Structure 1
Amino acid sequence: MSEKQELNHSRRAILKGGMAMAATGLGVAVTGSAIAAPNTPESFDEVVDVIVVGSGFAGMSAALQAREGGASVMVIDKMPVFGGNSTINGGAMAVAGSSLQKEAGIQDDVNVMVEDMLKAGRGMNDVEMLKLVCDGTAESCEWLIGHGVKWKPFVQHFGGHSIQRVLQTVESSGAGIIRPMIKVAREQGVDMRNQVRMESFIQDDKGRVIGLEVREGYYFPKEKTGKIRRFGARKGVIMATGGFGNDVKYRMMQMPELNSDLDSTNHAGATSEALKQMMLIGANPIHLDQIQLGPWSSPDEKGFGTASQFATIATYPHGIVVDVRTGERFFNELADRKARADAIMTRRDDKHQPVYPVGFTNAAGAAKAQTLAWGMKYNVIKKADTLEELAEIYGMPADKLKAQVARWNEAVKNRDDKEFGRPMQEAILLEEGPWYAARMWPKVHYCMGGVRVNTRSEVLHLVTDKPIAGLYAAGEATGGIHGASRLGACAVAEGVVTGRNAGRICAAEKGINLKLS
């Protein structure tokens, strides 16, 4: 048996023995590194101050902040392109107290944003981490502008937020954040490595994380491709590895109903192996069964698609969603994501098959929807000149649809939605066409769960609740901030703020001496 095989065998034995003791109720003193066999190499192939795993919002924010703090930084990503889910994200960031809000005369406050997120999270949120995120949004927004990010010149109202506080990149994509950050990172000397998959942590004899064993030249998803190498981190490793929304097997362990029949907006690499490696060295997983469905997706296209941006920018703030069987609304279109997704998922026939609702608005409501033309080109978004034509396209009762639109217009005039209590700041009259519509059905979108961290972004141990030395985490890889449901545009907020927090604190560590081979 090789030395590596012996180590793996020992680790499995320790884990098996630990679980057996837990099952029998035996008490045992456990330190922050007790379940991990030390695997300290005599030397490393390469050594830097900080290694960041993942290159999305959290990863790039951590890398840039650490570099600006004077640390040498390496970013690794297992995929052939950088950015992960962040690149295909809608590029919307919730900001409390932005300059654009002030210019528009919108009064906002960090405490109001905290309350909105607590309400959406059903009170399950880690309040201290929540405050850290909300308090950091305005300054981080300006920081992003300083790194080349450009926002649209208006503020949007996303579901679950009590007021308008959402800024969006001019590209309507997270690429409008990721690309500028990667450009600046390279200019500042951050070592960017793609097709490098993390295999395991390397710890010293005290359990401190001092580096990673990786596969360099890895071809996703071929598990054994690439060359094994050891990278050392003098100051620490920051895990910004995102969620596991496209890991069907693992997500079904948390929520069995999220099977392969349900599509995901996530990129192919949104899997669970990095989370599992953190758990193997004692990280505390929390809220793993809190997985969000995106309520703006369409069954008529794969992944994030064109309907998501259309629904977010046009339908939800400026239109309505109806059940095709009745032509009537059945929920608050600006409720939080969980409430909307849960409502949509109830639309089923007597055989429990989906009956896809239709969301629609008119030309005025769709004026800022950048994906409208693409959605129409691929027949995901459809156009109708009259409500009668719209009803015919989707098999709806025209008389009931027209009656519902009339009731909606009366609510807009009175600024009071008596049917479902929807906020009316962005509501418009739907009096004339043309009409633009898309069928809707939720898709797996975001994992609220991950590893538990403190306000220093240090990963906390399952048993001791103390930091695992040398290990930090940020963004979707962490759990607890959003509770039961994440509000729209808060992923960018969380990723950037917690990424910067981890990068700043990790870069300030004293660091240890590591040998090069």
Structure 2
Amino acid sequence: MKKKTAVALILVLSLILAIAGCGNGNKSTDTGNSGNKSAESEKKVTTEAVSGASEASYTPLDQLKEEYDIIIVGAGGAGMSAALEAKEKGMNPVILEKMPVAGGNTTKSSSGMNASETKFQKEQGIADSNDLFYEETLKGGHDTNDKEMLRFFVDNSAGAIDWLDSIGIRLNNLTITGGMNEKRTHRPEDGSAVGQYLVKGLVKNVQEQGIPLFVNADVKEITQQDGKANGVKVLFNQTDEKTIAASAVVVTTGGFGSNMDMISEVRPDLEGYVTTNQIGSTGDGIKMIEKLGGTTVDMDQIQVHPTVQQEKSYLIGEAVRGEGSLLVSSAGTRFTNELNTRDKVTAAINTLAEKSAYLVFDSGVKSRVKAIQQYEKMGFVIQADSIEALAKEMSVPADKLQSTLDTWNSAVKNKKDAEFGRTTGMDNDLSTAPYYAIKIGPGIHYTMGGVKINTNTEVLNKDGKAIPGLFAAGEVTGGLHGQNRIGGNSVAEIIIFGRQAGIKSAEFVKAQ
């Protein structure tokens, strides 16, 4: 079955399942993973996802109006943040989401949200600075990041943490991710995965503010008049096409990590990789913006995440390494600095004959990373009462694994990793039974390329001029991350630039 037919089938199945389980498709669910190539596998993923419905309600279609001040295309973190800020500025925004649920890839975010000079860092005695955050992100992106965008990003990161806290979304549990030298990755208070917590909180605020959020609303085209974006054509429930007018359009549709046709076009070397992206990440927003004259940047810069559970294409969050776990080969030994940047850790795994490795950790790491509970439920985690028993379960030499952990524990004690020069994630050794392992390998995770915007989130044409009334934020855009994204920066990006899109589109509408 060809890809386009498969995707169409999936969306139809999603709708049927949503209606059956949720009544008019108005109950919230988790969208789940894609990445298995057959339609049958993707159908299974969608079925599992829709069966886990929560209680959030979406706006009934009979409440749809013909015109709004601002149309926001996509109900992930960036879209909902934009809607909340636009509403705060006195606008009447609407959110249109093509999937049966809100959340997009945001729901799947695991490790946390990076920010510097935050009140939570200060409360916990963590000395950090925007300049250091800027320098480390620039280094992580191999000095190819859009520097103006990056400066705005780091300088507004603490304000984004404060804003979330002000609307009941508190991220005060701090950890570290690869390429960073300070604890600036902000997580929910209990250390759980950030994505579902963030989406739940944003949906709650959107509903409390009375912002309409329509699901199963597949925007097919952004309309223009006299060179200015003035609305959209949208297909509801795959059958009912409507044209909705607006004074501005904000595109927050995410990247193209589930569109293997687009990926193969720019990166044929990634053929055969699994993807951690939800099935709605198909690059729709990029294509629609290009039709209006918008330009793209860094489209071939696609991040492969080093720690993905291969059978279910499920991301194992960087916090597992940030809190002290090791990467071990089939020989039972370490082979890299686990908290190097993602591209370098991925390259190290790909040098192994098996192209896979194990994350090894103890009960201390498990207690500090609540997401591991979810990995256990999904059957990913191997557990044993001793290192010897764990080695047997992993089919690696027990003496080698024991030696690896002994050497590491000495390194933690002496604060010096003589083997690979790791300097972070060394607050605790691995000496508390039981012990655990998760088998992982690389997977397509994030598309760093996308449409070009400025710090006002205005979409730019090939001449570098803003297209009037057209704004974008989040993974649909490119340039911020350069050639490599630092873990924790995508959640920061969607909140920082999502808010900015709401603010600047509201200013644009008021000026008309």
TM-score bucket (shorter structure): 0.7 to 0.9
**Count, aligned residues:** 447
Do residues 285 (structure 1) and 291 (structure 2) align? no
Q: How does 1:438-477 map to 2 (within 5 A)?
A: 438-462=438-462, 464-477=463-476
Do residues 384 (structure 1) and 384 (structure 2) align? yes
When residues 512 and 297 of structure 1 are mapped into structure 2, their CA distance, relative to the original with a 3 A threshold, is: same
**Which residue of the partner structure matches residue 294 of structure 1?**
305
**Which residue of the partner structure matches residue 411 of structure 1?**
411
**Which residue of the partner structure matches residue 393 of structure 2?**
393
> What's the offset of the Cα at 1:300?
4.2
What is the CA deviation profile of residues 43-95 of structure 1, one whole-angstrom value per residue up to 9, with x for unaligned ones? x9711111111111111111111110111101101111111111222261111
CA root-mean-square deviation: 1.9
Do residues 227 (structure 1) and 240 (structure 2) align? yes
Alpha-carbon distance between aligned partners in 1 of 2:450 and 2:106, rounded to the nearest angstrom: 17
Aligned-partner SS, 1:202: strand
> What's the offset of the Cα at 1:255?
1.0
When residues 96 and 284 of structure 1 are mapped into structure 2, their CA distance, relative to the original with a 3 A threshold, is: same
Alpha-carbon distance between aligned partners in 2 of 1:179 and 1:188, rounded to the nearest angstrom: 14
**Which residue of the partner structure matches residue 429 of structure 1?**
429
> What's the offset of the Cα at 1:189?
2.7
Q: How does 1:265-284 map to 2 (within 5 A)?
A: 265-284=276-295
Contact 2:115-2:161 within 8 A present in 1 as well:
yes
> What's the offset of the Cα at 1:512?
8.5
Do residues 113 (structure 1) and 133 (structure 2) align? yes
When residues 216 and 361 of structure 1 are mapped into structure 2, their CA distance, relative to the original with a 3 A threshold, is: same
Alpha-carbon distance between aligned partners in 2 of 1:181 and 1:475, rounded to the nearest angstrom: 15
Partner residue of 2:110 out of 90, 94, 103: 90
> What's the offset of the Cα at 1:186?
2.4
TM-score normalised by length of structure 1: 0.83
Contact 1:265-1:445 within 8 A present in 2 as well:
yes
Alpha-carbon distance between aligned partners in 2 of 1:135 and 1:417, rounded to the nearest angstrom: 33
**Which residue of the partner structure matches residue 176 of structure 1?**
197
TM-score normalised by length of structure 2: 0.83
When residues 445 and 174 of structure 1 are mapped into structure 2, their CA distance, relative to the original with a 3 A threshold, is: same
Q: Mean Cα displacement is larger for which, 501-510 or 398-407?
A: 398-407
Alpha-carbon distance between aligned partners in 2 of 1:82 and 1:370, rounded to the nearest angstrom: 23
Alpha-carbon distance between aligned partners in 2 of 1:510 and 1:274, rounded to the nearest angstrom: 21
When residues 318 and 125 of structure 1 are mapped into structure 2, their CA distance, relative to the original with a 3 A threshold, is: same
Q: How does 1:359-378 map to 2 (within 5 A)?
A: 359-378=359-378
Alpha-carbon distance between aligned partners in 1 of 2:99 and 2:122, rounded to the nearest angstrom: 40
> What's the offset of the Cα at 1:387?
2.0
Contact 2:303-2:448 within 8 A present in 1 as well:
yes
Alpha-carbon distance between aligned partners in 1 of 2:470 and 2:249, rounded to the nearest angstrom: 5
Partner residue of 1:185 out of 206, 209, 212: 206
Alpha-carbon distance between aligned partners in 2 of 1:172 and 1:510, rounded to the nearest angstrom: 36
**Which residue of the partner structure matches residue 162 of structure 1?**
181
Q: How does 1:496-511 map to 2 (within 5 A)?
A: 496-510=495-509
What is the CA deviation profile of residues 432-485 of structure 1, one whole-angstrom value per residue up to 9, with x for unaligned ones? 5321111111221111110011111111102x1111111111011110000111
Contact 1:319-1:427 within 8 A present in 2 as well:
no
When residues 396 and 457 of structure 1 are mapped into structure 2, their CA distance, relative to the original with a 3 A threshold, is: same
Alpha-carbon distance between aligned partners in 1 of 2:210 and 2:409, rounded to the nearest angstrom: 56
Do residues 60 (structure 1) and 119 (structure 2) align? no
> What's the offset of the Cα at 1:374?
4.3
> What's the offset of the Cα at 1:158?
1.3
Do residues 142 (structure 1) and 147 (structure 2) align? no
Alpha-carbon distance between aligned partners in 2 of 1:196 and 1:378, rounded to the nearest angstrom: 31
Contact 1:315-1:360 within 8 A present in 2 as well:
no
When residues 52 and 373 of structure 1 are mapped into structure 2, their CA distance, relative to the original with a 3 A threshold, is: closer
Structure 1 runs (4+) deviating above 4 angstroms are: 510-513
Alpha-carbon distance between aligned partners in 2 of 1:355 and 1:425, rounded to the nearest angstrom: 24
Contact 1:91-1:176 within 8 A present in 2 as well:
no
Structure with larger Rg:
1
**Which residue of the partner structure matches residue 202 of structure 1?**
223
> What's the offset of the Cα at 1:431?
3.7
**Which residue of the partner structure matches residue 340 of structure 1?**
345
Contact 2:176-2:424 within 8 A present in 1 as well:
no
What is the CA deviation profile of residues 268-322 of structure 1, one whole-angstrom value per residue up to 9, with x for unaligned ones? 1110222111111111111111111222222243434xxx14xx33344312111
Contact 1:150-1:176 within 8 A present in 2 as well:
no
Q: How does 1:230-249 map to 2 (within 5 A)?
A: 230-234=243-247, 236-249=248-261
Partner residue of 2:101 out of 51, 73, 81: 81
What is the CA deviation profile of residues 114-159 of structure 1, one whole-angstrom value per residue up to 9, with x for unaligned ones? 11110110111001111111111111111111112133x4311111
Alpha-carbon distance between aligned partners in 2 of 1:377 and 1:55, rounded to the nearest angstrom: 27
What is the CA deviation profile of residues 324-355 of structure 1, one whole-angstrom value per residue up to 9, with x for unaligned ones? 1x22111111111111122212222xxxxx34
Aligned-partner SS, 2:338: coil
**Which residue of the partner structure matches residue 319 of structure 1?**
325
Aligned-partner SS, 1:509: helix
Structure 1 unmatched ranges of 5 or more: 1-43, 218-224, 349-353
Contact 1:94-1:166 within 8 A present in 2 as well:
yes
Percent identity over the alignment is 33
Higher relative contact order (CA 8 A, sep 6+): 1
When residues 510 and 401 of structure 1 are mapped into structure 2, their CA distance, relative to the original with a 3 A threshold, is: closer
Aligned-partner SS, 2:307: coil
When residues 176 and 419 of structure 1 are mapped into structure 2, their CA distance, relative to the original with a 3 A threshold, is: same
Alpha-carbon distance between aligned partners in 2 of 1:377 and 1:493, rounded to the nearest angstrom: 28
Alpha-carbon distance between aligned partners in 1 of 2:229 and 2:355, rounded to the nearest angstrom: 50
Do residues 493 (structure 1) and 505 (structure 2) align? no
When residues 505 and 436 of structure 1 are mapped into structure 2, their CA distance, relative to the original with a 3 A threshold, is: same
Code of the aligned partner of 1:229: K
